[in-house]
Structure 1
Amino acid sequence: MNELDTRAERFLESIRAEGEAACAAIHEETEREISSQLDATRKAENARVERTLHFETERARTRANRDLSAARMAARATLADQRQKIADETFAEARSQLAAFAAGDKYAAWLQNEAAALAEALGENANIAARPADLPLLQNVKLPVGTTLTADESIELGGLKGANAAKGLVADDTLAARLNAQHEWFLQNAGLEINI
């Protein structure tokens, strides 16, 4: 019986060893499968996180660019308003100085010189218009043959308007027209650029 017990014990030990080896192999295969699935899940999640991160980064960049653009536009609008206010104040001051010039002593001589130059440029049979108050200042100006002097209520500050229908010439040499012609030059040369 001893031998039978020994054989039975060896047989059981062999079965136990095979069972333990099979369990170890199953355990090892399970661990490998779990590790493989974890790696695949990690890769998939990392890719998803990377896509989400890229998407959110681009969305944040787009939003920041849009906000920056809106802020720049608002700043430009504010600067444009300030520039226009400065220009308006400057031209209002220039207009009042032109009004003072037209009311001053040097205006008559200037107006007479301008009338002579305008009449020469327009030629014979032209019409020169001035403010009604300025017509007496032009009575002694030598004008080409057929040139007429007329009153024009639309001339506000002073100066002259002229026309020669036969030659198709028209001129606006009023102080207001001269002042208005300076707007573009002023905005370009006054150092009030808007660079944002």
Structure 2
Amino acid sequence: MNELDTRAERFLESIRAEGEAACAAIRTETDAEIDRQLDEARQAQQAKAEHTLHFETERARTRANRELSAARMQARAKLAAQRQQIAADTFAAARTQLAAFAAGKDYAAWLQASAAALAETMGESGTLYARTADLPLLQGKLPAGVAMTADDTITLGGLCAANPATGLAADDTLEARLDAQHDWFLQNAGLEITI
């Protein structure tokens, strides 16, 4: 019986060894599968994180660009308002100086020179228009055939002229001269808006 016991014991040992080898193989296979699945999950999560990071980065960049654009627009609007205010103040001061010029002693000579130039340009049958206050300054100073008419829409001074026969018209008022300087002033005053 001894031999039978020994055989049985060897048989059991063989079964145990086979079982342990099978268990070890299953454990190895299970560990490999777990590692593979963990790697896949890690890669999927990393790809998802990279996608989310890229998406959020682009969203933040877009938001920052919008905010920068809005800030630039506000700055431009503010600068444009300041530019307009400077121009308005400058032209108001110029208007005041023109009014002082029209009330001064040099105005009569300037007005007579302007009248002579306009009368020559308009030719016979031309009409000059001036403020009522300026008519006495031009009495007897116009060439023959040129009529003089009061026009109180001219506020600062100067003259307008027209000749219906030739279709010519001219505006040499101080207002027109001042208005003609707006574009030049904005281009040359160094008030560009660059942001």
TM range, normalised to the smaller chain? over 0.9
- Structure 1: tracts of 5 or more residues without a match: none
Which residue in 2 is equivalent to 1:192? 191
Deviations 1:109-130 (A, max 9, x none): 0000000001111111111100
Aligned-partner residue type, residue 59 of structure 2: R
Deviations 1:92-147 (A, max 9, x none): 0000000000000000000000000011111111111000000111113232x432
**TM-score, with normalisation over the residues of structure 1?**
0.96
Aligned-partner residue type, residue 45 of structure 1: Q
Deviations 1:15-69 (A, max 9, x none): 1111111111111111111111111111111111111111111111111000000
Which residue in 2 is equivalent to 1:89? 89
Q: Which portions of structure 1, spanning 4 or more consecutive aligned residues, are displaced by more than 6 angstroms?
A: none
CA distance in 1 between partners of 2:135 and 2:111 (Å): 10
CA distance in 1 between partners of 2:40 and 2:167 (Å): 88
CA distance in 2 between partners of 1:163 and 1:142 (Å): 15
Aligned-partner residue type, residue 180 of structure 2: A
1:1-196 matched pairs, under 5 angstroms: 1-143=1-143, 145-196=144-195
CA distance in 2 between partners of 1:122 and 1:13 (Å): 134
Size of the aligned set, in residue pairs, is 195
CA distance in 1 between partners of 2:189 and 2:113 (Å): 30
Q: Could you say what secondary structure the match of 1:125 adopts?
A: coil
Aligned-partner residue type, residue 65 of structure 1: N
- Structure 2: tracts of 5 or more residues without a match: none
Q: Tell me how far 1:163 sits from its aligned partner.
A: 0.7
CA distance in 1 between partners of 2:122 and 2:46 (Å): 84
Which stretch has the larger CA shift, 27-36 or 125-134?
A: 27-36
**TM-score, with normalisation over the residues of structure 2?**
0.97
Q: Could you say what secondary structure the match of 1:39 adopts?
A: helix
CA distance in 2 between partners of 1:78 and 1:142 (Å): 50
Aligned-partner residue type, residue 153 of structure 2: S
Q: Tell me how far 1:171 sits from its aligned partner.
A: 0.9
Deviations 1:165-188 (A, max 9, x none): 111111111001100111111111
CA distance in 1 between partners of 2:184 and 2:43 (Å): 65
Q: Could you say what secondary structure the match of 1:116 adopts?
A: helix
Identical positions, percent: 72
